[in-house]
Amino acid sequence: MYTFGRVVMKAFLLIFGGGIKVLQRDRLPNIHNGYIVVCTHRTWIDVVALGIAMKPTSLYYMAKKELFQTKLTNWLFSSLHAFPVDRKNPGPSTLKIPQRLIKQGKVVGIFPSGTRSTENVGLKRGAFVIAKRAGVPIIPAAYKGPNSLFGIFKREKIKVIFGDPIDLSDYDAKEDSEIALQKIQTIFSQLEKELN
């Protein structure tokens, strides 16, 4: 379902929208081990765009648990490689599920602002904690493009850009989370400037 969905959405964006352009994809690790990709979050479209930009690598997404409340949506989002997270009361599974996926060599996608926003939102610590415990790098990414279906139909161009991997080996798990998150935010800003 995931691969089919990615093909369908890419075709949809090409036919009805302005298509998608991926910049600096060579910055993604050329390895078979898992890692984390963090991306700016403005709209549901950036989730789709990031998945397309990662091709052929499959992405496993953290998603708010509210999306899984019915049998249909639970099946849909699970088949699209999303797994539920309780943002208000995060439990052990918030860390265990992505860590297990990473150990299996999967790539986990996290939108660390935790919410869709057009303003800068304080980045959640989850991405740092998960990456640090799993011993994997974080790859930053940024999105520029339409915020709605209307923007797609106006044929606004979608762009996704990747930054260099962030090695967390020199960061202390307890003391350096804010430093790491500030670095990610700075890189987000740099990547967005490059897109402009």
Contact between residue 13 and residue 20 where contact means Cβ atoms under 8 Å apart: yes
SS3 for 37?
strand
Mean pLDDT of 20-26: 94
pLDDT attached to residue 121: 43
Looking at the 3D structure of the chain, how many domains does it have? 1
pLDDT attached to residue 2: 87
Contact between residue 108 and residue 37 where contact means Cβ atoms under 8 Å apart: yes
pLDDT band at 90 (very low <50, low <70, confident <90, very high): low
Q: How far is CA 51 from CA 38, 123, 141, 175, in A?
A: 12, 21, 11, 32
pLDDT attached to residue 22: 96
Is the pLDDT higher at 73 or at 94?
A: 73
- pLDDT tens string 55-68: 999 999 988 888 88
Asked if residue 31 has pLDDT above 80, the reply is no
Asked if residue 32 has pLDDT above 90, the reply is no
Q: How far is CA 194 from CA 16, 110, 122, 190, in A?
A: 26, 21, 22, 6
pLDDT attached to residue 93: 67
Q: Which of 88-97, 151-160, 172-181 has the lowest mean pLDDT?
A: 88-97
Asked if residue 165 has pLDDT above 90, the reply is yes
Average pLDDT of every residue of the chain: 86
CATH number of the domain enclosing 107: 3.40.1130.10
Is the pLDDT higher at 30 or at 98?
A: 98
- pLDDT tens string 113-148: 644 444 444 456 788 888 998 999 999 999 999 999
* Structural domain harbouring 130: 2-195
Contact between residue 91 and residue 65 where contact means Cβ atoms under 8 Å apart: no
